[in-house]
Structure 1
């Protein structure tokens, strides 16, 4: 999962989608918008549980400044209030669980507090973001781009073959059209290693349950 987050960050700050589109259309000119390097950026990690901590660990190798926000700070990194993180970060990546307190954690008000041209990465839960506010900020140029592996209203769309059907989710249709937005269908977890761990953990938990051990 953390590897996918880093890949998503690199794709969005380097304008990978626009580059791929140009090559697919047989256009090999340099793009008008130059890419950025992580070492020159501040990355804000919202949520420093298992995945957020793994993201922080991987980011250290890129030499970027790292900020974090969590209600229960743990990992050794600069922890700041959420609004301060939003104001200072060039990239904001979300790794919190979805609950009543985190629903639309990045709403219109908080998105407006982000640095102009900043990027959003969400591999957590779609409803952590107010998608309408995100789309508006992207289309206006207030945000520089986004990488989204999850989306509000993804149920019935992601994991289905919808090639011959119209896109009924209006926000998804608009996001797909933007050259600075990378959307993937909730696939960040989908690796041999992760699935093997899932099966192993399930078997261990079942065995512990049968034996009366703590699950």
Structure 2
């Protein structure tokens, strides 16, 4: 009897959930392997991004986890559906790299993940401080062994008004951090969700020394900061964007920066970043003229959509994605 007990226990154990994890770089792959056993999943990990050709890697699994760095076109979604995929978890807050409505039409449920807002909030404040202290010029000069001070002194946040557009989890976390600098804080959103002074958008852009973008990208928020609003901003004001590139009218921003009207910008996201950000382009021609023009300016900081990229946030995203897949397979997923 005792010799049969291990077999009986194994038979009673619930089967592990099979998941195909796409676009999985080494740091994420290590997290997937570490978390999979605890969550009761059996992952098939690949560095390949989702495409029509790579969809066959998901054959035999109903759930896939995908990254946000590569756009997923409708042909790839249809191919996933044809091999039996019924659930797609994207390891990101936004779903702008794919079409959830089309996915639903071919039988695939799409869901995003939640991760610590602190990663992006910390980075946003970092960019603010770097922008108002002219750190791009400081670093460039010292790298060239020029140790003179910048021509103009920097600014202190306590003397400035910061306008926060979008006060969800990340925007609220930015506001929480700014309180420690004793600056004036204005906020704008469709609904008040943080303890802040909410004002109409035109008031925010007119009165802010720094405008920072944190609203989700939708049809209504595309170019939420456009030419007319940028023209209303204070001379010498700064724009910070760690949300999504198309929240900001890049051409209008460039005009204001190149004319000297604005004091500077710090952008972790950019319109048309796809295919450039996350790639090694040292030996390639940069096709985006907007990107090259921005990078030439001494008062503009560019980083490659890296604000979210901390060990804590990455662990949150991977764990949430695997759990969502498991719950969908087990029938405990909630829309």
Question: TM-score scaled to structure 2, two decimals?
Answer: 0.63
Query: Are 2:217 and 1:67 aligned?
Result: no
Query: Are 2:289 and 1:175 aligned?
Result: no
* CA RMSD, Structure 1 to Structure 2 (Å): 0.9
Q: Which residue of 2 aligns with 1:139?
A: 258
Query: Are 2:323 and 1:199 aligned?
Result: no
Match of 1:41 among 148, 160, 178: 160
Count how many residue pairs are aligned between Structure 1 and Structure 2: 215
For residues 83 and 177 of structure 1, what CA distance do their matches in structure 2 show? 30
**1:192 offset after TM fit, Å?**
0.4
For residues 216 and 290 of structure 2, what CA distance do their matches in structure 1 show? 22
**1:188 offset after TM fit, Å?**
0.5
Query: Are 2:247 and 1:128 aligned?
Result: yes
Q: How does 1:92-103 map to 2 (within 5 A)?
A: 92-103=211-222
Query: Secondary structure of the equivalent of 2:263?
Result: strand
Q: How does 1:98-113 map to 2 (within 5 A)?
A: 98-113=217-232
**1:166 offset after TM fit, Å?**
2.2
Q: Which residue of 2 aligns with 1:58?
A: 177
Q: Which residue of 2 aligns with 1:185?
A: 304
For residues 76 and 53 of structure 1, what CA distance do their matches in structure 2 show? 8
**1:167 offset after TM fit, Å?**
2.0
Deviates more, 1:12-21 or 1:166-175: 166-175
For residues 85 and 105 of structure 1, what CA distance do their matches in structure 2 show? 12
For residues 258 and 152 of structure 2, what CA distance do their matches in structure 1 show? 16
For residues 333 and 284 of structure 2, what CA distance do their matches in structure 1 show? 47
For residues 153 and 209 of structure 1, what CA distance do their matches in structure 2 show? 33
**1:199 offset after TM fit, Å?**
1.1
**1:205 offset after TM fit, Å?**
1.6
For residues 31 and 75 of structure 1, what CA distance do their matches in structure 2 show? 37
Question: TM-score scaled to structure 1, two decimals?
Answer: 0.98
Match of 2:203 among 67, 84, 89: 84
**1:212 offset after TM fit, Å?**
2.2
Match of 1:2 among 121, 131, 154: 121
Query: Are 2:152 and 1:19 aligned?
Result: no
Structure 1: where are the runs of 5+ without partners?
none
For residues 169 and 110 of structure 1, what CA distance do their matches in structure 2 show? 24
**1:210 offset after TM fit, Å?**
2.8
Query: Secondary structure of the equivalent of 1:143?
Result: coil
Structure 2: where are the runs of 5+ without partners?
1-119
Question: Structure 1: which 4+ aligned runs deviate by more than 4 Å?
Answer: none
**1:52 offset after TM fit, Å?**
0.3
